[in-house]
Amino acid sequence: MPTLHTFFDFQQMREQFGTIVPGGMQIIDWTWRDQQTYSSASDTEVNFFTAVNTNKVKSNMVSAGDIPSPEWFIVRAITIVPIIEPSYENLTDADAAGGGYAVSAAVDMFRLLFQSRLEMFIGSSKHFDMISANFTSGQGIYGYATSDGASGATAVLESNRLVVANNGVPDPRAVWTLNHPKLLEPKLNFQVSMKWNSAVTLSGDTDIRVGLVGSRIRPLQ
C-alpha cells in the first residue's frame, strides 16, 4: 500500500496541508501582564507569572511561568502598576499636630514602590535586583486634588482631598527601557518578585500589575 511520502515529500506536505507557514515568523508588539494582591501589613513578598489566571484583565498568561512553545519573547521594558483608585484622604487637626501622614493613595504608592525591590529570575539566573520605583508604568490617571471645607477652627485643613497617585508620569514614553533586552526562550521558567524588608501598612489590600513589555515572536500561520 503506498504511503503519503510516495506522493509528497515532507516540505510539500507542510506547504499544502500545514497550519504553520514553513520558515515564517511573525513579530508583534506585546505585553505579558500579571496582577497579584499585596495584603496590607502582612506580605513581604509577592510573586508574579507563576500561574494562569481566568480573569484576562488581570493576566494574559497562557502558560504558567514560561513562554509557550514554539514562541519567543524579547523583554524590552518592565512596568509596575499599583492598582490604586482615586480616593478621598480624610485629615484631622491631630494628623497635623502629630506631624504624621494619613494613609492615602500617595502614601500607598510610596510604600509599595520605594520600600521594595524587584527581582527577576530567568531559569536559575537572577537578571534584576533593583528598587521597584525604577520600573515606572508610563500609564495612569492624570488628575488633581480638590478640597471642600476645613477640619477645625484653629487650623485650616481640608477635611476631604481627592488624591490620585501614579507610578511615574502617565505617558507611554515614561518607562525604563532596558539597555540590554532579555530573550525568553520557549518553556524556560521565569519569575518576577517584589520584596519588602518588612510588611508595609496601606489603605487596604492592593493589587499590583507587572508588565513585561516587548516583542512576541511566533510562527506565521
pLDDT tens for 139-182 read: 887 765 555 555 554 444 445 566 778 888 888 888 999 999 99
Is position 18 within any domain?
Answer: no
Indicate whether 7 belongs to any domain.
no
- Predicted confidence at residue 35, as pLDDT, reads 97
DSSP for 58-98, written as a single string: T---SSTTSBPTT-EEEEEEEEEEEE---EEEE--HHHHHH
Q: How confident is the model at residue 187 (pLDDT cuts 50, 70, 90)?
A: very high
pLDDT at 216 over 70: yes
Is the residue at 15 inside a domain? no
Q: Do the beta carbons of residue 122 and residue 190 sit within 8 Å?
A: yes
Give the domain range for residue 128: 24-219
> Residue written as cell 530573550?
183
Residue 170 placed within a domain: yes
The pLDDT mean for the chain works out to 83
Establish if 5 belongs to a structural domain: no
> Does residue 4 lie within any of the structural domains?
no
Give all strands of the β-sheet with 25-38 in edge-to-edge order: 25-38, 206-219, 72-83, 177-184
Distance from C-alpha of 6 to C-alpha of 66, rounded to nearest angstrom: 40
Q: Is-contact 132 118, C-beta < 8 A?
A: yes
Asked, for residue 2, whether it belongs to a domain, the answer is no
pLDDT at 162: 66
Considering its fold, how many domains does the chain have in total? 1
Residue 10 covered by a domain: no
**Greatest CA separation found in the chain?**
101
When pLDDT is cut at 50, 70 and 90, the band that residue 210 belongs to is very high
Q: Is the pLDDT of residue 199 over 90?
A: yes
Cβ within 8 Å of residue 72, ≥6 positions away: 183, 184, 185, 186, 216, 217, 218
| Alpha-carbon span 118 to 126, nearest angstrom | 11
pLDDT of residue 211: 97
Query: What is the number of alpha carbons within 13 Å of residue 207 lying toward its C-beta?
Result: 10
Q: Give the least confident one: 65-79, 108-122, 134-148.
A: 134-148
User: Is residue 193's pLDDT more than 60?
Assistant: yes
